[in-house]
Amino acid sequence: GSGGYGTKGEGNDGEGGEMYGEETLLKQIHFGSGGGGSAFNYIGGSGGGIIELIIEQQLINHGSIQSNGGKGVDAWSGGGSGGSILIELQCQSQSYSNELKQTFGTITCIGGSGGSGGKGRIAIYGIEPSSNDVKKINPKPFNRLHK
């Protein structure tokens, strides 16, 4: 089966991994889970890593930020789950940070193929992504502006 984390992993012939951790990523932050191997000694995909970005003024991302799970070696081994991405804007003045245009780009913590690994977790603090930004973030991020 495939690894689970933010969502349950799917299973091929085996059970998929369960969900664990909490969505805020403040109390605990986890790597993604690896996928299970197959009876033919093929290896499951690795779990995604942890990315933590502390931003003082402005996020400008015209590419992608990824903590995706790896795919299984063959069709019978499971994919790993996505990892964790925590983005925190630590600007001293909220009004100043609102003047700066934040460019999120594509941000993903998705599971590896070969058994559909579970999604990871994304949390964003100090900045509120627009609805257009959220369309390019998978899974949907946990977001709570705090002052």
Of 19-33, 37-51, 67-81, 87-101, the one with minimum mean pLDDT is: 87-101
| Range(s) of the domain holding residue 140 | 1-146
CB count in 10 Å sphere of residue 41:
9
Number of domains in the chain: 1
Spatial separation of the C-alpha atoms in residues 114 and 44, rounded to whole Å: 8
Cα separation values, 36 from 4, 47, 96, 109, 143, Å: 11, 11, 48, 19, 32
Q: CA quadruple 24, 47, 64, 7: dihedral positive or negative?
A: negative
* pLDDT tens-place string over residues 31-74: 999 998 877 778 899 999 999 999 998 899 999 999 999 998 88
φ, ψ at 103 (rounded to 5°): -115, 105
Averaged over 110-131, what is the pLDDT? 89
Contacts of 60 (CB under 8 A, 6+ apart): 102, 103
- Higher confidence at residue 98 or residue 85? 85
